[in-house]
Each structure stands twice: as C-alpha cells, then as structure tokens.
A and B are shown apart, each in its own frame.
Chain A
Amino acid sequence: MKIKRDWIWGWTLIAPALALIFLFTHIPALMTLWGSLFSTPRGRKPSHFVGLANYERLIQDPTFWKVLGNNAIYALGTIPVSMALALAMALLVNRPFKGRALARMAYFTPTVLPLIAVANIWLFFYTPGFGLIDQVLGLFGAGQSNFLGNAGTALPAIMVVAIWKEAGFFMIFYLAALQAIPPQLAEAAKIEGAGAWTIFRRITLPLLMPTTLFVSINAVINAFRLVDHIFILTGGGPDNASSLLLYYIYETSFRFWDTAYGATLSVVLLALMCLLAIGQFFLFDRKVHYK
C-alpha cells in the first residue's frame, strides 16, 4: 500500500514539469525531425514527403560545414577561456584589498547589460580608425584594424565579446564556492609544507568541481545559444565567416523562409546537444561526488 502511494506521489509531483518539458522540448524535437523529411511549402505548392533529400542537401551545403566549423571553434575557444578567466577573477577578488567592491561590480557588468545592447558598444570599440581599440592602439603608434571586416578576425572578435559576457557571469559562482572552502584546509596544508600552487591544485580545484560542473553546463549551452551579438556586429559575415549554427537556423527559417531546411539544421543541433549532454554527464559523474 505504501508503495502504491509512493507511485502516485512521484507521478503527481513530476507531472506538471514533465508535461511542459514534453510539450516544448520532446514533441517539438520530434516534429522537427518529422518536418525535416518534407519539402518546404511555397504558396501554391504544398509540402510533400522527400525522405532524406534535405539531409543530402545538408551534406552538400558548404555554408553548413563552415558554420558548423565556426561553432566548434567558438565553443572550444569561449568555454575554457571564459571559465579560466572566471576562476581567475574570483581568486583575485577573494582577498581583501582596496577597491574590491568596485572590481566585483566591474566583473558583474556583463550580467546586467543585455548582450543585444552591449553589442552596439562593441561595434564602436571595433570600428576602424575612430573606434576605441584603434584609438588605444594609435597611442602606441600601431596601425588601423578592421577586426569585424576581415574573414580571419571576425569570428575571434565575436568570441571576445562572448568571453567578456560569460566570464563575468561565471565569476560569481566561483567566488561563492571559494568562500565556502574552509580556510583551515589550506592552513593545514601549509603547515605540512605545501606551496600555493599545490594547495590550489590539490585542495581548491577539487573542491570547486561541483561548481565547475554547474558552470560548464551553462558554458556549453551558451556556446550554442549566444548569437544575439552577431545580429549587430557582423550579421554572420563576411561570407559566413562569423556565422554560427543557431544564427544560420534563424536565417534559413525566418529570412529565407525555408522551414524544412531549417528543421533539418535544427535536427543536427539537437543531436549535437544530446551527445554533449550525455558526454558531459558521464565525464563529470566520475569526478563529482554528490551524495
């Protein structure tokens, strides 16, 4: 009898959340998969079943491969750098010094300023000639730059903005976690003759593992989700040099109105995210010791 009651409680408790998750994740995911097997309806031409034709087109679409490669670079560049910077910032302001509150606020600004608005400010920073970066470089006698306007530098320029946004945000979590580590641990280690680096590596870092998991999930999500600034800074250009998967999906579905191909691209992103979710979970499952 007790068991039956547990069943009912369990199901009832999870029902509302699960219903919504199914409605806005699993069902749309399946619909996307289904939709990717049909052609895009165009006015008087209704949509019809095309099998895997959209996927064949995907494989032959050079823009898709370019965008996918860009996204890989974007993820591999922004995730570790922003996490490392976040940790560094947290360590820096986890000691008393004059101006600590100001420094914390400085690191906090990206969390408060919406990316879409900040992108305009970065646009000015990057502007050749009279932009802030060129003005500063000019003081050192350096020439002019056009970071957003060249194929080789547009993507890195976009990544810098993302790192600025992310590191400041993640810093808060690392800072809180650092404060929760009992200082006695480090003191005990010091008595035993451990250096600062050893303490950091052997004590601090392992104790930060749960926070690192938390932060890394967010970082991975954002590496595929943060495209707002691309709208303002480059529009994905030049020649798709700074376009990312989600931005390409937006373009295909809402500018080219090619909904079927948009669905096909979404399926790729979905599959990618599922793989990452599973991979990340197993990777950290071994290292993180929740009870």
Chain B
Amino acid sequence: MLANFLKGSAAAAALSLIAALPASAVDLQFYFPVAVGGGAAKTIEGLTETYMKDHPDVKIDPIYAGSYQDTITKVITAARGGNAPQIAVALSTDMFTLLDDDLILPFDDYAKGEEGKKWIEGFYPAFMENSQFDGKTYGIPFQRSTPVLYWNKDAFKEAGLDPETPPATWDEMVEMGKKLTKTDASGNTTQWGVRIPSSGFPYWLFQGLVIEAGGKLTNGEGTETYFDSPEVIEAAQYLVDLSTKDKVMEPGILDWGATPKDFFERRSAMVWTTTGNLTNMHDNAPFPFGVAMLPEKAQRGAPTGGGNFYLFKGSSDEQLEAAVKFIEWITAPEQSAIWTKATGYVAPRPATWDTETMKDYAKGFPQVLVARDQLQYAKAELSTHENQRVTQFLNDALAAAITGQKPVEEALKEAQAKADQVLAAYR
C-alpha cells in the first residue's frame, strides 16, 4: 500500500517535472498511405503542421509510405523489427492481420471517460463494423470510401433515357445498359452500358452485388467465409452475365486504373467505382454526370472501404496518449471537413456534415451526399484472419469466372475450400 503510494507519488512528481520542461516534447511517428491523386499527402502534412503549432509539446513525423500495400508492408516489417510507429493509417480490413501479429492496441484504453466514449460512438456504424472486435475499438475511420455508380447524362439522353434517373435495380441496370450499348457498322462496340472494374481487387465491388443479393461474405469475426452460398453465386453469375449473356459490359478483366478515363472517353455510360474518384470526376469529366447509389436486388447495399487509424504497441503510455489526442483532433469535424473536401473521401462522422465547410461544399457539389446517404445500407468490407490471402482466393475465383476459365459455381466452391483450409486454424 505504502509502496504503491510512494510509486504513485514518484510518478506524479516525475510527470509534473516533465510537464514543467517544455523542451521534452513527445515524439510520434505517423505512417500514412495515399490512394487518391492530388495533394492528399500535402493535406495530411499541412494538418499535422497546424496541430504541432498549437501543441508545441508534441512532435509528429508524418511519413508518406506509398500505397496501402507499401504502407502495411513497411509497418509490419518495422514492427517485427521492434521499431513500430505509434500511428499508422492502414486498410480497415487489415485489423485481423494486425491483431494476429499482436501489433495493435485498442483505442478504448487511451480515449478514456465519457468524452472518449462519445468520440468513438460519433462515427457512422457502417464504418465501425470492421474497426471493432470483441467489444474493443482497434481502428478509427479516417480515409473511408464506398463504391457508387457514376452515369453519363449525355449518353442517357442520346439513348432516349431520362438523364436524371439512374438504374435503381439490377434488372434496370441491364435494361438501360442494353439501350446504352452502341455498336458501329463493322460490329465493334463503341460504347458499353456499364463497367464494373475487376483488376487487382475485384472482390470489393463484387461485395456490393453480394450485399444487394441479400448475402454476406463473412461472419464478421474473421473466421468463416461464405464464398459458395447461393446469394454469392447469384451475385457472381449476374456479374459474369453482364458480359456474356446481356452483353452490356466489356468482356475480360477491366482495369481499375483505366476506369475514369474509360468513362471520360465515353466508352462506358455507367461505371462503378469509389467515392474517392469524386474530385477527379468533378474536375475532368467532359460531360454532365450523376452519382447514384448502387442498384438493388433484394436490398440496397455497398461495402465500405478505405483506411483506419491504428495504434501500435511498443511505445510509452505518454506517447500513446499523445497519439490518441492527435487522432481525436484530426478526426474532429473541422479537420475532417478539410480532408474530405481535399480528397473526396466520405466524412466518417455525422458531425462533420454539419460544419459550414461541408455544407458549402455540398451545396456546390450535391453529388457528394450520395455516398453519405448510402452508408445506412453499407456493410463492412470483406476481412478475415490472414486477410490478403483469403481475399486473394476470392479474387482469383472471380477472375477465373469473368474470363471464362471456370464456371461460376466451381470457381467459388474452390475458393471456399481454400479459405476453409486457412481459416480452420483460427476457429
């Protein structure tokens, strides 16, 4: 008892000593990826600068670590070498991987009291789905996105469709797609009805179809996948049929990176892609375009996507508390509004949308509200233990089905079997 008391007061004395010494700043390392064009990195560095000006006791070193893939590679290799940063932004889907490697800490332990709780509860529930596990919060939503449908109003007009009405259902998308698909005299298609890009990470947009069909890809605990459930097969069949049966989408794997250009070049009248493209579309589309929620089958639906803040083990409590304070600040409405405006990411807190900055922004560019309104139907992005490997099984299966290498059902059954093999160890 006495010893504890002594220890406590010694610590308190030490703390007050530290507080009295302005020179002893807390050093924080902050790794972040950039996945959208433009000055995203500059915006983050600028915000960090502002924070440090107001908080001279904290020194933050923002490290631009490349793509999401580069960032997670660096963070994990650094952490395994005992050199983890305090803060990193990584994909929300990396949560289980980071937990399995025992690298991250829950925010609840550092964002204490009523205020901390209120902060964590202030995010959209759709974004928190893959940020929490076992009652604890391991990720704080930051650069989050969701896929939407962009449509070319001019093309709709030319095809005799109402330029203000996007497809609301799967069937409508096919119907409209057929009207929008144009062929020239020699039989070559010059404009396709719709484009759902499928290179690299086809599972993401595909997950939208799965949710719409009323299905799901995982059990949310990261231990079970349902790749061969009827809804998933239905969704995959619809995707494949778009090219093979309905002929409203270009066959083969469609490149993700070339999608905006394809849209601008009027080769696809409707495209599915991330809200992270809003700013790009807004600046570069040579025709009026609309933004719509993804069409529904059994229900509306879309996955969430993008990156969360994570808090890493291996630092002092003082550093971690300072890190959480910074994250609280940068996700606060004013800062978060600046970030959303600069990048097109969905502001992750309802409060952000009430700021003057966001209101002005939405007035001039009402399309940004679509992503927000879609959030009520959104579900967590596919995420499991050994996430990248399990996801790759699904990616490969989808690619095989899209390119006609394997029948839809067979490809998905194989993927499910492979996933079961890997995940068995975690059940």
Contacts and interface: CB of A to CB of B under 8 A. Distances in A.
Q: Do chains A and B make direct contact within the complex (CB under 8 angstroms)?
A: yes
A43 B403 contact: no
A234 interface: yes
B253 A238 contact: yes
Interface string A138-180: 1001011010111100000000000000000000000000000
A130 B400 contact: no
A146 B389 contact: no
B376 interface: no
Contact of B399 (A123, A129, A239, A254): A239
Given A148-B253, A148-B255, 16 more contacts: A43-B102, A123-B255, A129-B250, A129-B262, A130-B262, A141-B186, A144-B189, A146-B250, A146-B252, A150-B403, A151-B405, A237-B200, A237-B253, A239-B396, A256-B386, A256-B392
Interface in B58-72: 69
A254 B253 contact: no
Contact of A150 (B102, B200, B253): B253
Interface string B97-111: 101111000000000
A235 B200 contact: yes
Interface of A: 42-44, 123-124, 127-130, 138, 141, 143-144, 146, 148-151, 234-235, 237-241, 251, 254-258
Nearest to A120: B257
Nearest to A143: B188
Contacts of A43: 99-102
B35 interface: no
Contact of B199 (A150, A234, A256): A234
A237 B405 CA distance: 12
Contacts of B397: 239
Question: Which 8 A-B pairs have CB atoms at the shortest separation, nearest pair first?
Answer: A149-B252, A149-B253, A238-B399, A146-B252, A239-B400, A256-B389, A239-B399, A43-B102
A42 B251 CA distance: 40
B252 A129 contact: no
A151 B252 CA distance: 9
Contacts of B100: 42-43
A128 B250 contact: yes
B253 A144 contact: no
A44 B425 CA distance: 13
Contacts of B73: 254-255
B187 interface: yes
Contacts of B186: 141, 143
Contacts of B251: 146, 149
Nearest to B252: A149
B88 interface: no
B258 interface: yes
Given A42-B101, A149-B255, A239 B405 contact: yes
B48 to A, nearest CB: 28
B76 interface: yes
A149 to B, nearest CB: 3
B158 interface: no
28 contacts: A44-B102, A123-B255, A128-B250, A128-B252, A128-B254, A130-B262, A130-B265, A130-B267, A141-B186, A143-B187, A144-B188, A146-B250, A146-B254, A149-B252, A150-B252, A151-B405, A234-B199, A235-B200, A237-B395, A237-B399, A239-B399, A239-B405, A240-B396, A254-B73, A256-B389, A257-B101, A257-B388, A258-B389
B261 interface: yes
B211 interface: no
Interface in B4-27: none
A237 B255 CA distance: 11
B400 A238 contact: yes
A255 B69 contact: yes
B254 A149 contact: yes
Q: For the complex, would chain A's binding face be called helix, strand, loop or mixed by DSSP majority? A: loop
Nearest to B192: A129
A47 B405 CA distance: 37
B402 interface: yes
A123 B400 contact: no
A241 B397 CA distance: 12
Nearest to B265: A130
B2 to A, nearest CB: 37
Contacts of A128: 250, 252, 254
Contacts of A42: 100-101
A150 B397 CA distance: 14
A156 to B, nearest CB: 14
B76 A257 contact: yes
A130 B261 contact: yes
Contact of B253 (A124, A146, A256, A258): A146
A133 B186 CA distance: 18
Contacts of A235: 199-200
A143 B185 CA distance: 11
Contacts of A123: 255, 257-258
A141 B388 CA distance: 43
Contacts of A240: 396
Contacts of A138: 188
A62 B402 CA distance: 19
A48 B262 CA distance: 51
Contacts of A148: 199, 253, 255
B250 A257 contact: no
Contacts of B254: 128, 146, 149
Contacts of B388: 255-257
Given A44-B102, A130-B261, A130-B265, A257 B97 contact: yes
B188 A127 contact: no
Contacts of B392: 251, 255-256
A237 B396 CA distance: 8
A74 B101 CA distance: 36
B301 to A, nearest CB: 25
Interface in B301-337: none
Centre residue among A43, A129, A256 by max chain B CB count within 10 A: A129
Interface in B227-257: 250-255, 257
Nearest to A42: B100
